[in-house]
Amino acid sequence: MTNAPDALTMNTKKATPAPAKARLPGRGGLALVFGIVALALANFAGAAPFAYVANNGDGNVSLIDLATGSTLTKITVGTSPLGVTQNAAGTKVYVSNFGSSSVSVIDTATNTVSATINVGAEP
Distance CA 91, CA 104 (A): 14
What is the pLDDT of the chain when averaged over all its residues? 74
Cα 40 vs. chain centroid, distance in angstroms?
21
**What domains appear along the chain, each with residue ranges and CATH number?**
7-13+50-118 (2.40.10.480)
Q: Considering only 14-18, 40-44, 102-106, which range has the smallest mean pLDDT?
A: 40-44
- 16-33 confidence digits (pLDDT tens): 334 444 433 444 443 333
pTM: 0.63
Return the DSSP state at 18: P
Return d(Cα 11, Cα 64) in angstroms, integer: 10
Nearest CA-CA partner of 5 in 70, 74, 65, 62: 62
Beta-bridged to residue 52, according to DSSP, are 9, 63
Chain segment 58-84, per-residue pLDDT in tens: 999 999 999 999 999 999 999 999 999
